[in-house]
Amino acid sequence: MKKDYSKYFVKPSIKDARKRKSTETAVIDFNEYFLMKGFGKGKTYKIETYGCQGNEADTEKIRGILEALDFTESDKLEDADLILLNTCAIRENAENRVFGELGRLKQYKKNNPDLILGISGCMPQEEKVVDRILNKFQYVDLVFGTHNIYKLPEYLETVVLSKERVIEVFSEEGNIIENMPKIRENTKKAWVNIMYGCDEFCTYCIVPYTRGKERSRKSEHILAEVQELINQGYKEVTLLGQNVNSYGNDFTESEYKFSNLLEDLNKMDIDRVRFTTSHPKDFDLDTVKVLAKQGNLMPYIHLPVQSGSNEVLKRMNRKYTKEQYIELVNNIYKYIPNASLTTDIIVGFPGETEEQFNETLDLVEKCKFEGAFTFVYSPREGTPAAKYEDDMTMEEKKQRLYKLNELVNDGYLRGNLRFDNKIVKVLVDGVSKNSDEILAGYTENNKLVNFKGNEDLIGKIVEVRITEVKTWSLKGEQVG
Ligand code: 5AD
Ligand code: SF4
């Protein structure tokens, strides 16, 4: 008899995902969805996470749910009873890696037919991905998206007890789920979601379709989470959102905004507060002024510019000009003279001329970035830019990327040279990849530092004098 998958067969739709609901965001308490403790007893899991910090934060929630069901984490992939790929859709190569991995995991499924193989995150939010899984990867048992992590216990029950394949992806969702359990990766540094989704619709970007409408968490929930982290001994929080600067714009009964949140966090007993990602169009002077108070607000800002050409920025729907961006950067340097700035840049956007690319190089020089993530444009089906005419060859795009990267690398070195022979504060992450005797951690300006020290310094903030400067890292000696 053919199995009936219909109960949990909900496919995504990129078209529906574009719709923004005018209804107020529902805040759902996770507890009511939490049903079957002990379900995972004796079973193990392994999660592979791809993509941004938002996905890493989601993985911590998935782990939280699994461990609340009594699953335990497996050391090795091959021993796991449940393997989940938490995926990223931002560029095509991110997706190709996941399809490659799914292909490789087929063997695991053959060796162990009881293995539950799942895929979650941004890729399942695209209908073409779900179609491909249905046609080519029929051995995948579980497919869910970014909006329904909280229903994982129910899905697992169906997969295990009814031996049915579960595919459920919500396209138009815009809720906030509070109180999901979390198992955090790090014991000193924590991600804190302050909002979800994105309403910007930059023409190249898939995120507004995969992550739903923009919605802010209530400040009291955020501040309570940070207080709980302080109580647990955390030293650093990174506030997460696709455009943190528009935090609170969706509140109907309050004027509370991002600068207010930073001000409140500035008074709390956490050593370091970071945030990502910023949108230049919404980064207001109030925020710059609050950051200027420093204290636990770190002098490091990631401020994606994408392009230095007004024409390209317009076609990207970024809603600011090169001149406005430079004015913002100058204000940041004026109020926070020790700030380190990094950015994101896309080269080879459809129709980008040599002259327009040179505008980007010019902007990079003027803004004194101390680092940048640079990307060749990757068309994403369903986004407006995917339909723009693009006659540039990949070779030309790569040439532009190399040229840009040379300039960007000068910036990394220039940023590190600022700290030569200076004393910096390092939050020690752990031992270095290359040697057990060398510790590694990050400064307030987010510079990687290696220095000789005892392992019991891990998790502490240590003063280090910089003795050697390289492009990608600093070397130093502990002071005192
Ligand atoms: N192609 C290339 N880069 C992209 N980004 C987002 N979408 C695309 C795309 N389609 C980049 C942007 C963004 C970063 C997270 O990824 O620079 O800031
Ligand atoms: Fe994508 Fe633009 Fe939203 Fe960033 S602000 S997630 S680039 S649409």
Taking CA atoms, 233 is separated from 115, 186, 441, 462, in Å, by: 37, 11, 17, 16
- Give the distance (Å) from ligand 1 centre to CA of residue 59: 21
Q: What is the spatial distance between Cα 243 and Cα 393, in angstroms, rounded to a whole number? A: 32
Q: What is the spatial distance between Cα 332 and Cα 453, in angstroms, rounded to a whole number? A: 35
Contact 206, 200 (CB under 8 A): no
Give 304's pLDDT tier (boundaries 50, 70, 90). Answer: very high
Three-state DSSP at 383 gives coil
Taking CA atoms, 94 is separated from 51, 86, 91, 123, 188, in Å, by: 8, 12, 6, 10, 29
Q: What is the spatial distance between Cα 82 and Cα 60, in angstroms, rounded to a whole number? A: 16
DSSP 90: S
Stretch 432-438: mean pLDDT: 88
Contact 15, 209 (CB under 8 A): no
Q: What is the spatial distance between Cα 473 and Cα 279, in angstroms, rounded to a whole number? A: 27
For the record, the structure tokens of 126 come out as 């695209």
Q: What is the spatial distance between Cα 231 and Cα 268, in angstroms, rounded to a whole number? A: 11
Q: Tell me which of 207, 209, 214 to substitute to probe ligand 2's pocket, judged by most ligand atoms within 8 Å of the beta carbon.
A: 207
For the record, the structure tokens of 9 come out as 């067969």
Using CA positions, which residue lies closest to atom 1 of ligand 2? Answer: 205
**What was the pLDDT predicted at 1?**
43
**What was the pLDDT predicted at 33?**
65
- 346 ligand 1 Cβ < 6 A: yes
- 91 ligand 1 Cβ < 6 A: yes
**What was the pLDDT predicted at 5?**
59
Q: What is the spatial distance between Cα 135 and Cα 471, in angstroms, rounded to a whole number? A: 46
Q: What is the spatial distance between Cα 376 and Cα 388, in angstroms, rounded to a whole number? A: 15
Ligand nearest to the CA of 199: 2
**What was the pLDDT predicted at 435?**
85
Q: What is the spatial distance between Cα 105 and Cα 111, in angstroms, rounded to a whole number? A: 10
- 377 ligand 1 Cβ < 6 A: yes
Q: What is the spatial distance between Cα 362 and Cα 461, in angstroms, rounded to a whole number? A: 37
Three-state DSSP at 147 gives coil
Question: Is it the case that residue 318 has pLDDT exceeding 70?
Answer: yes
**The 300-302 sheet, strands edge to edge:** 300-302, 340-347, 372-376
- Return the closest-CA partner of residue 25 out of 150, 177, 208: 177
Question: Is it the case that residue 4 has pLDDT exceeding 60?
Answer: no
- 211 CA closest ligand 2 atom index: 6
- Give the distance (Å) from ligand 2 centre to CA of residue 212: 12
Span 322-339, pLDDT tens digits: 999 999 999 999 999 999
Question: Is it the case that residue 276 has pLDDT exceeding 80?
Answer: yes
DSSP 153-182: HHHHHHHHHS---EEE--SS---EEE----
Ligand nearest to the CA of 319: 2
Q: What are phi and psi of 453, to 5 degrees?
A: -175, 165
Using CA positions, which residue lies closest to atom 4 of ligand 2? Answer: 242
Span 107-150, pLDDT tens digits: 999 999 999 999 999 999 999 999 999 999 999 999 999 999 99
- 205 ligand 1 Cβ < 6 A: yes
- 277 CA closest ligand 2 atom index: 4
The strand pairing partners of 272, in sequence order, are 236
For the record, the structure tokens of 251 come out as 């509140």
Bridging pattern class, strands 195-196 and 215-216: antiparallel
- 242 ligand 1 Cβ < 6 A: no
DSSP 17: H
- Give the distance (Å) from ligand 1 centre to CA of residue 76: 32
Using CA positions, which residue lies closest to atom 18 of ligand 1? Answer: 344
Which amino acid type is present at position 387? K
- 43 ligand 1 Cβ < 6 A: no
Range of lowest pLDDT (29-33, 102-106, 313-317, 337-341): 29-33
- 198 CA closest ligand 2 atom index: 3
- Return the closest-CA partner of residue 25 out of 215, 212, 197: 215
Tell me the percentage of the chain whose pLDDT exceeds 70: 98
Locate all alpha helices (DSSP H) within 83-151, ordered by sequence.
Answer: 92-111, 127-136
Q: What are phi and psi of 475, to 5 degrees?
A: -120, 145
For the record, the structure tokens of 408 come out as 């960007």
Contact 261, 222 (CB under 8 A): yes
- Give the distance (Å) from ligand 2 centre to CA of residue 108: 36
For the record, the structure tokens of 390 come out as 């693009």
Contact 84, 74 (CB under 8 A): no
Q: Tell me which of 88, 205, 278 to substitute to probe ligand 2's pocket, judged by most ligand atoms within 8 Å of the beta carbon.
A: 205
- Give the distance (Å) from ligand 2 centre to CA of residue 270: 29
Span 287-301, pLDDT tens digits: 999 999 999 999 999
Q: What is the spatial distance between Cα 166 and Cα 176, in angstroms, rounded to a whole number? A: 23
Q: What is the spatial distance between Cα 224 and Cα 289, in angstroms, rounded to a whole number? A: 24
- 344 CA closest ligand 2 atom index: 7
For the record, the structure tokens of 236 come out as 């650093």
Question: Is it the case that residue 37 has pLDDT exceeding 90?
Answer: no
Stretch 424-433: mean pLDDT: 95
Stretch 233-245: mean pLDDT: 98
- Give the distance (Å) from ligand 1 centre to CA of residue 331: 26
Three-state DSSP at 439 gives strand
**What was the pLDDT predicted at 24?**
78
